[in-house]
Amino acid sequence: MQPAISQVCTLSASFEKDIEEFAAGHCGAIEIWLGKLETYLDSHAPADVLALLAQYSVTAPVASYQGGLLTSTPDARQEHWNLFRKRLALCQQLKIQTLVVACDMSGLVSTEIVTQVHRSLAEAATLAEQHGIRLALEFQAKASLANNLESCAALVSEIGHPALGICFDLFHFHTGPSKTEDLGWLTADNLFHVQICDLAGIPREWAADADRILPGDGDISTAALTERLRQIDYRGLVSVEMMNPQIWQIAPRSVGEIAATALRKVLGQASME
């Protein structure tokens, strides 16, 4: 397991400030937040990103996230797929190995829609593979299709593309219909990325992304997850992901340091370096 921190934890800070201060806080790996990266690239070149990462000895093997690929609205679909192609090219340039894709279906589900989802994911995985990138499909607790780990794993298995795997987000696992037994669906082959956080004193039906806090500070148990990760000898990133506006007001170095400490405790590791 490779501990990491997502840039969405410090959304108010600049891209370059994240890299500098996460490194100072002994966080050697980050999960790129694509919106922040794209803002940085409005005035910089991809080569500047690579130079910045190299300067501070920070790796960025995962980026989040691409949505809208499964929508059935023709105009919206075209817009999202155009952006997806641009992001694949960008990830290839920056040597980002894994791109998180949201399984964000909404509305009623029919046989025709399920067929379209299969076709879209297979097409997306093929495009990603051509760029040397893997897609990590993130199940969404409130989605109308694959809103739990078991269904997400089944969908990935049915499509059967080597460039398509699972992004396991502990928030969606806890707040959706997934069960602890579903962790058995995770394997060394299908698990591409892990994101964790915590919640405190909030019924899971009411929980929102803005309620995410540091892992270990709330009510979500991580014991079963970490045990499963060890069982399958998971070698990928485990990143802290918090979309909490209150945390956004804290300096990236402080967020990095406290998130690193929290993640060490959860994973039972001595160091983030």
Could you tell me the two tokens for 268?
A: 């039972």
Residue 233 domain-assigned (yes or no): yes
* Maximum distance among all Cα pairs of the chain, rounded to whole angstroms: 51
Residue 109, Cβ neighbours under 10 Å: how many?
14
Confidence of residue 53 (pLDDT cuts 50, 70, 90): very high
**What is the phi/psi pair of residue 258, to 5°?**
-75, -35
Domain boundaries, position 97: 2-267
Residue 167 domain-assigned (yes or no): yes
Confidence of residue 72 (pLDDT cuts 50, 70, 90): low
pLDDT value at 60 more than 50: yes
In this structure, the dihedral spanned by the alpha carbons of residues 249, 254, 255 and 259, taken in order and rounded to 10 degrees, is: -160
3-state secondary structure of 247: helix
Confidence of residue 107 (pLDDT cuts 50, 70, 90): confident
**pLDDT given at position 1:** 85
Residue 273 domain-assigned (yes or no): no
- Span 27-48, pLDDT tens digits: 899 999 999 999 999 999 999 9
CATH of the domain at 91: 3.20.20.150
Handedness of CA 220, 225, 227, 233 (dihedral sign): negative
- Read off the pTM: 0.94
In this structure, the dihedral spanned by the alpha carbons of residues 170, 145, 159 and 156, taken in order and rounded to 10 degrees, is: 10
Distance in angstroms (rounded) separating the CA atoms of residues 190 and 137:
10
Residue 58 domain-assigned (yes or no): yes
pLDDT value at 271 more than 70: no
Residue 272 domain-assigned (yes or no): no
The length of the chain, given as a count of residues:
273
Nearest to 153 by CA among 166, 163, 142, 162: 166
Distance in angstroms (rounded) separating the CA atoms of residues 141 and 165:
18
Nearest to 138 by CA among 163, 165, 162: 165
Residue at token pair 């959304």: 11
Residue 38 domain-assigned (yes or no): yes
pLDDT value at 79 more than 60: yes
Instruction: Yes or no: say if 60 and 32 are a contact pair by the CB < 8 Å rule.
Output: yes
Looking at the structure of the chain, the number of domains it has is: 1
Residue 79 domain-assigned (yes or no): yes
